[in-house]
Structure 1
């Protein structure tokens, strides 16, 4: 029990905090001010015309900005008119700015009315355009309404008045207005329809903005006549798992409650005369209104003032968590009151059913604590008579109605897995035990399962090859967030009537196991870092453990031992973990370090592992962008996917830094493996534009080449290749044909057809660029130490070899080699601040404006002097062809031959493959009587014909990925015909196989998704 003096102390602290903070918002923090922003701290009645019986005044009872709002006491007939130039300028589709002129306002209503106010914009006595604002709410509501798209009528530049007409169904009432912009340019994608303005942004396809549409949907699955024992048991089990996951154990005492009181007091929540008010709470995206006035979003102000919704919800969760853990009745009652004050203030601020807050785009990241807090406090809300309102609000913001219709396309937005699934599940679990709850949960489970299934085209979230998608490409940084929700959903519902399908379960399992293959130890390669090339992105080991507890996909075991073993390897050895204890108790130990080779066509990547090192290579194509750039993100990483070959084998544990990548001082021209034009840093900086209304300020450029992909032989060895053609926005004349042959512990790298017209700057293929660590060995060049400190040298390679400072070997039979070591000066990829660091780098030089240049080198990770001397004297491979049309390498040790036919093979004289009807990549192994053929058409075939490009003055025009109509298209099946030398019988099912008159064999294979087709043959005697 709480003692009286404890209660008194807490109450006194609350009072002191309130007095110190003061009653005015200005004492709390600064607000954005601008002459175009109507804050209504005073009212100039000369600007207004009031019909008879209507009154205007300022009020401090409700306010959204500053300390006052404009109060309108209205009568049944008539209106108020603001006589002020609106400032409307028609949208210009040719403008660089793709935002559209809009009206924005916050409205407070004390009494819900099933009627509407009408906003009419006009010129003198002529009405030009208008919209209706529904008044069926209590509290604050916002409206962002585009003049030309959303309003009725035709807006004109001469508009000079705003008339607000009163509702007609009741005799009188009051409305309050605040934070109004008569005309402000807003991103056309972000106006949010809701119960007040359901006509706004009609037809939006943004999954963030579907609350209004979803709220009218009804489940297409039937509700059971009554709940079964299995369903009731499932409710309890899922609730138990959900709560155990979100509720942190905590010791709660008077000091805990004191601290929470201080934090809650900052919001100055008070009740008077049946009304509640307090510090305004804002969704950070509302600050985007200020961008045209401040040149940037000032959401930082909200965060600094703790006015942002995320901070508010986080505090609600803290209070809820303390309440759930509190054992003293007195303290518990105070926590309950705190929570309900915050909850009621939240509703008053417009975070309630039917409200879109003006915009709610990308809200999920901010709402996560909201869902959790309401679930934890469900019993309190029930006792307060607020449970149904809480359910309504939860299901509105969670857009639960989206799950009520059977999905028609596999997959789900990765952000939904990250930010929505927990909220949607919470909004169902908080319901009373009724048949409707089972109905909702069945729809939800179906939606989750569909979201896990392999998605077509460039849709999120998971692919057949293990890629994890967002922004129309493989994107591990987003995948970790998505997996956070996805693995939990599979686990929460496992072993119940609502569990996901075997295919859905297998798909997410593959995504996880693929991630642990391309990551080393937990970090992914720089080429997969999206717009954050910082070298710190990493998988979450807990995801493996959580999914392991969901059991094997086929239901054969309660624990997935493969995932559990992966977790045991990934988790730090000394870290304590309940998962680790559970798995050890079941006899599960860490897996061996993965070895072998995988291809990831939907990432335009291949990954090879041997011993403890990982080698990853990445290209791009007409389907998959080369790099993602935002304002203030990845400003210099244009060459990330120009064929980057990264060796990760250094560090304890292995990571990007230990393997050579450190951003400070990094030369953004020199990602290992890439072929580039070495540009001054200013020229390399991305020129980021808002190119269309499908996108924001961002850049994701494509090649116009379809050839990019890889092949593997039983996931042991493999070949990757792509045709490089940089976009015309920058160095559009840069072309190259590049390939990598991965044979056990060596990587043969070939390039041909290297050309461009840039006669000012040199073209290079990068061998390595490594940060120099304190314990690194010196670089060896032909067995001689390069020395320490500043070094620079050039070589005409003749069977030359090097070992870099990370222990990786390079064999160079020929070529012009340039080596530099010492301090490098660069810029931060985000802030553009100067950086510096010591690096060692080596490149193959192709000169300025090269034509038909080529290269050949071999990388041997983890090499020593003896190995490199052996390779230089007698390589364990032979380059059979090295032309613009074909790269072909034979590996002696494994008796494998890799083929890259950049163009369909025609009368090929070397190797077993004579002709093909399509460009392809192959890896074969043959003996006198047997042949293994691994082959692919690397074209993802998301569309047919020439590249989907628009040309202006003979050059490709920049367009966003989101404008491409083929983006969700499924990979089309293409039929690859391969003529093999000799007569062969195939042991596999193929489309067709014939023996030609010349005594050769033509096999026809169906290719899809860029995946490897594997066939074995026997000689026909």
Structure 2
């Protein structure tokens, strides 16, 4: 049950070291600690933060303590891989609040170089992470040789433990609070402000006394919200004397050690292993589960004695929590990513609202929940909002609602629910650029990209709240509701049924992350005008026998048919195509959209994830051919990439600036990558250019055209200077299961037909094709450990150092025997052009044409288009007297020209953090493209389109933003 962190400690007596030194006070008072009155210093075991002892200091006014020896401060070296800065850390236990400050000074040769104050108006434990060169007064210097504590302007007693004079801490993570409100002020407006700005957010809260009585409807609505919330989290459990006694013993064991937040543990990373047993802790998440279980127990018995005993344990647990510094006003050194560990604590406190109120203990618990949930965010100036951070929806929003529902004053609760509604209504909007939040194409952005794994978490946090508030004056309605609805509905487009495309898995390319059907249920139930039909029927398709399915069926709803058609999500450089029960998707990246997200222990070989990845998905990822064990990371289907051994493909990761973590998120310098859709069909095209961090000579121009159940894939201008490794365009890679297989290894030199194990028929023209079926060896994407599995793999071999390489192949997706025979004879398409400027394909059946214009172009012999002045994607569907057009300018145009800070003095692209880009929150600039058509037409449909004629031509001026398809219908004129 109890977990231990085995950290390391360096116990000082008279030895001092440069670097991470920790004073634990386990072996007496170190000889280098001096005091004006040493008799007032002693070692105690009353309270401690590690080991079993701390230093007790009984002080009088103006007393001081000094720690002699090299402080260990090191000046930050700009330009290196290490971005962390020297910070000071310590724990203080205060028995009684003191209305004054403790001053911490850092001296060199007796002269104060830098210092900071600590507000002492608290009880219990407090800690702080104070960065030397940003948060302190004065100028720190290497070689500082003394730390002095100057007592407050009164007498008192405190305990001191775990003093760390200097430790390297990521500068984004130091957190200010009521004891050190000057720490890391930039965090209040940083990307991670939702985690870090607790002090700021708490102080935004405004409450005004309102004597106006609530209406009966408001009172009933508030009770309805509380009841829904309670019923959603409550659980019936067994309660008896033995179980209650076990909970008492569990708390007794907890109180022997410390309640810790795992993100704080980073400060122990560089210490030795000699005293690891000195650091023992209870993780906050485990403690929250303990509190919630007590809440379950309280509501699972009607025995008053048992209820009182359970509440007594709960209150003692809260008191222990407060004593550990988990209380309003304390940030624990860092609070970064706290929301993931605090959910159960919020729920436990809410379940115990009634006895807390009865015993006059509710207010302190409510303030604690209000502080850590950052509930004050709801008072953010609406004019400063630019969308909502997904982490807030995922981990903080339920805590905010909990804080509101913990009010014992119904008028105050009503005011905060009203403010909560105003905040969500304003925040749930379309965010600009690539910053987090919702996008018009249905993308849910986090980490500056379309990120379904975080979208899932956002829906899990937000949609129950839409349900709780639904049907009340505080419900989410109108535009905000429809934005959430649209994004939910799109999540079942890029997934099939629950697994989303491999290229959308971010730093987790495995089969563990799936969309969650509960979001459809909750949002349907929270509909503005009763249950939402679309969402209810989408839920029934996903989960026809789910626990809530009968509720919808009894209301007359039935499962929707599988969505069929083609969808463009250019904020994610993504094209989706569905027929029957299958999904095909293709994805790229650009100078605005990162191609991969790789951490030290995640997605180590993910460089090629967005190199035009083309995946066919039916049922689960495994059933569709992917398992990560044994997967060849050089061969994502559809990609054109250099076939590197995994030791060379593995990412070389570093922290490139103070805005990012230790990660890799590479950008291209190309603006052209995106899709287009028209009348249920679609296309995709990209200019692929690998980042110079690896091989900046690798380029290709790639396109995909979807016509019904066929996909045509073209490549041109494939080139790089790698004379050692071949370049491959991967056709498919499919997991074959655990059974023994007959090995195959074939090379096809000319036109080739291949039927893969997924029943997709590939027709490849004029390329060398390599096919193998074997036990495939690889490395785990997280750990780098060897993996293996049976796979089939097919790819087009462009050879080493290709120049002007090309490919052409077509796929019949999930065809029956008859359609496969017909496809073998005639695949019913024509390639009209395939070069540097454009790829043009016509479907012989529908007569639809797709144009991937990589450059502005003038066509000599095309039936429809004469000129286009903008690199674009165009789909044309001609009828007898009409012409349907879908036009896309795939350049998101978040900035014009080049971002000079991304290039070195030689004009070579550097690795930069997407978080550091000053254009990341820019709105896309509108751009007007001029398309000249042969023949005369008049405009029937076309928003943001102007038409004029010139001789026998029709000139369309088309204005678009964010790569959004512009739909146009023209009528022929004589």
TM-score (norm 1): 0.91
Q: Is contact 2:33-2:67 (8 Å) kept? A: yes
Confirm whether residue 615 of structure 1 aligns to residue 615 of structure 2. no
- 2:560 is aligned to 591
Which of 132, 138, 158 does residue 175 from structure 1 map onto? 158
1:810 alignment counterpart: 762
Give the equivalent residue in structure 1 for 2:126. 141
1:584–1:994 distance in 2 versus 1, CA, 3 Å: closer
Corresponding residue number in structure 1 for 2:42? 57
Whole-angstrom CA distance in 2 between matches of 1:151 and 1:909: 71
What is the aligned counterpart of 1:790 among 735, 739, 743? 743
The DSSP-based 3-state class of the residue aligned with 1:1005 is strand
Query: Is the Cα–Cα contact under 8 Å of residues 29 and 43 in structure 2 kept in the other structure?
Result: no
Partner of 1:358, secondary structure, is coil
Residues 801 and 868 in structure 1, CA contact (< 8 A), matched pair in contact too: no
Aligned to 1:121: 106
| Residue 605 in structure 1 maps to residue 574 in structure 2 | yes
Three-state SS of the structure 1 residue aligned to 2:798 is strand
CA distance 1:1019–1:815, shift in 2 (3 Å): same
8 Å contact kept, 1:803–1:864: no
Matched, 1:318 2:293: yes
Structure 2 gaps of 5+ residues are: 12-20
Taking the aligned partners of 2:278 and 2:794, their CA distance within structure 1 comes to 46
1:819 matched to which residue of 2?
771
2:215 aligned to 206, 209, 228, which one? Answer: 228
Deviation at 1:406, TM superposition (A): 3.0
**CA–CA distance in structure 2, aligned partners of residues 706 and 520 of structure 1:** 29
1:154-173 matches, cutoff 5 A: 154-168=139-153, 170=154, 172-173=155-156
* Residue 630 (structure 1) shift: 0.3
Cα distance change, pair 377–96 in 1 and its aligned pair in 2 (3 A): same
Partner of 2:262: 284
Listed one character per residue, the Cα deviations across residues 768-825 of structure 1 (whole Å, up to 9, x for unaligned) are 011113699xxxxxxxxxxx52211111122x21110111110112211111111111
Separation (CA, whole Å) in 2 of partners of 1:935 and 1:679: 37
Given candidates 49, 53, 68, the residue that maps to 1:83 is 68
Distance 2:207 2:896 in 1: 37
Deviation at 1:911, TM superposition (A): 3.5
Aligned counterpart, 1:481? 457
> Match for 1:772 among 736, 743, 753?
736
Structure 1 residues 294 and 98: CA distance shift in structure 2, 3 A: farther
Partner of 1:375: 350
In structure 2, what is the equivalent of residue 1013 of structure 1?
966
Provide closer, same or farther for how the CA distance between residues 794 and 491 of structure 1 changes in structure 2, counting only shifts above 3 A: same
Alpha-carbon distance, 1:452 to partner: 2.1
State the alpha-carbon separation in 1 of the partners of residues 248 and 536 from structure 2. Answer: 43
Does the CA contact (< 8 Å) of 2:176 and 2:184 recur in 1?
yes
Deviations 1:151-194, CA, capped at 9 Å, x for gaps = 001111121111100111x3x10111111101111111000000
Matched, 1:257 2:257: no
Deviation (angstroms), 1:451: 2.9
1:708 counterpart = 2:691: no
Shift of 1:493: 1.2
Q: Provide the secondary structure at the position in 2 that maps to 1:46.
A: coil
Stretch of structure 1 that moved more, 865-874 or 850-859 = 865-874
Say whether the 8 Å CA contact 1:219–1:440 is kept in structure 2.
no
State the partner residue of 1:746.
710
> Contact conserved, 1:54 with 1:75, CA < 8 A, in 2?
no
Residues 448 and 489, structure 1, Cα contact 8 Å, conserved in 2:
no
Does residue 1:829 correspond to 2:816, yes or no? no
Match of 2:447 in 1: 471
1:106 and 2:81 matched: no
* 2: CA distance, partners of 1:712 / 1:530: 25
Q: By how many angstroms is 1:31 displaced? A: 4.9
Which residue of structure 1 lines up, in the alignment, with residue 535 of structure 2? 563
SS of residue paired to 1:718: strand
- Deviation of 1:934 after TM superposition, in Å, equals 0.7
**Alignment check: 8 A CA contact 1:704 1:947 kept:** no
Preserved CA contact (<8 Å) 1:536 1:656: no
Give the distance between the partners of 2:750 and 2:531, measured in 1 at CA.
55
3-state SS in 1 of match to 2:535: helix
Shift in Å, 1:479? 1.1
| Structure 2 CA distance for partners of 1:53 and 1:835, relative to 1, 3 Å | closer
Mean Cα deviation higher: 285-294 or 72-81: 285-294
> What is the deviation of 1:313?
1.3
Question: Match of 1:119, SS?
Answer: strand
The answer to whether the Cα contact below 8 Å between 2:735 and 2:790 also exists between their aligned partners in 1 is: yes
Contact 1:458 1:469 in 2 (8 A): yes
In structure 2, the residue corresponding to 1:293 is in which secondary structure? coil
Give 1:728 deviation, angstroms: 0.6
What is the distance in 1 between the residues matched to 2:247 and 2:579? 53
Alpha-carbon shift at residue 434 of structure 1 (Å): 4.1
Structure 1 residue 977 displacement after superposition: 1.5
Structure 1 residues 925 and 869, CA gap change in structure 2 (3 angstroms): same
- Counterpart of 1:442 (choices 402, 418, 443) is 418
Alpha-carbon distance between aligned partners in 1 of 2:644 and 2:654, rounded to the nearest angstrom: 21
1:208 equivalent in alignment to 2:195: yes
After superposition, the Cα gap between the structure-2 partners of 1:258 and 1:952, relative to the gap in structure 1 and judged at 3 Å, is: farther
User: 1:780 matched to which residue of 2?
Assistant: none
Q: How far apart in 1 are the matches of 2:252 and 2:33?
A: 38
Q: Is the 8 A contact 1:452 1:507 kept in 2?
A: yes
Q: 1:561 to 1:259 in 2, by over 3 A?
A: farther
Q: Return the alpha-carbon distance in structure 2 between the equivalents of residues 362 and 320 of structure 1.
A: 25
Alpha-carbon deviations, 1:511-550, whole Å to 9, x = none?
Answer: 1111111111111111000001012321111111111101
Q: Is residue 981 of structure 1 aligned with residue 934 of structure 2?
A: yes
**Structure 2 residue 204 is the aligned partner of structure 1 residue 217:** yes
Q: 1:401 offset after TM fit, Å?
A: 1.6
**Which digits, 9 at most, give the CA deviation of each residue in 1:483-508, with x for residues without a partner?**
11111121111121112231111111
The structure 1 residue matched to 2:682, chosen from 715, 718, 723, is 718
Structure 1 match to 2:498: 522
**Preserved CA contact (<8 Å) 2:938 2:947:** no
The answer as to 2:919 corresponding to 1:966 is yes
8 A contact 2:577–2:706 mirrored in 1: yes
Q: Secondary structure at the match of 1:250?
A: coil
Q: Distance in 2 between matches of 1:365 and 1:301?
A: 26
TM-superposition CA deviations, 1:106-158 (whole Å, max 9, x none): 11101011211000010122111100000011000001001111100111112
Please, which moves more after superposition, 157-166 or 216-225?
A: 216-225
Aligned to 1:352: 327
How many residue pairs are counted as aligned between the two chains? 957
Deviations 1:257-285 (CA, angstroms, capped at 9, x unpaired) = 34433433321x3xxxxxxxx32111111
Where do residues 299-314 of structure 1 align in structure 2 (5 Å cutoff)? 307-314=282-289
Structure 1 counterpart of 2:15? none
Specify the SS of the correspondent of 1:705: coil
Per-residue CA deviations over 1:618-645 (Å, capped at 9, x if unaligned) read 1100011111000111001111111110
- Give the SS at the match of 2:185: coil
Query: 2:945·2:959 contact (CA, 8 Å) conserved in 1?
Result: no
Change (3 A) 1:763 1:400: same
Cα displacement string for residues 985-1016 of structure 1 (whole angstroms, at most 9, x for unaligned residues): 00125545444433211111220121110010
Which stretch has the larger CA shift, 833-842 or 305-314? 305-314
Deviation at 1:460, TM superposition (A): 1.6
User: Is 1:1002 equivalent to 2:916 in the alignment?
Assistant: no
Task: Report whether the alignment pairs 1:238 with 2:238.
Answer: no
Q: Which runs of 4+ in 1 moved over 6 A?
A: none
Structure 1 match to 2:271: 293
Change (3 A) 1:576 1:458: closer
CA contact (8 A) 2:928 2:958 kept: yes
2:939/2:947 contact within 8 Å kept: no
State the match for 2:721 in structure 1.
757
Q: 1:575-594 deviations in whole A, cap 9, x for unaligned? A: 550x1121121121211111
Change in Cα spacing, 1:258 to 1:585, as seen in structure 2 (3 Å) is: farther
SS where residue 877 of structure 2 aligns?
strand
Q: TM-score, normalised by structure 2?
A: 0.95
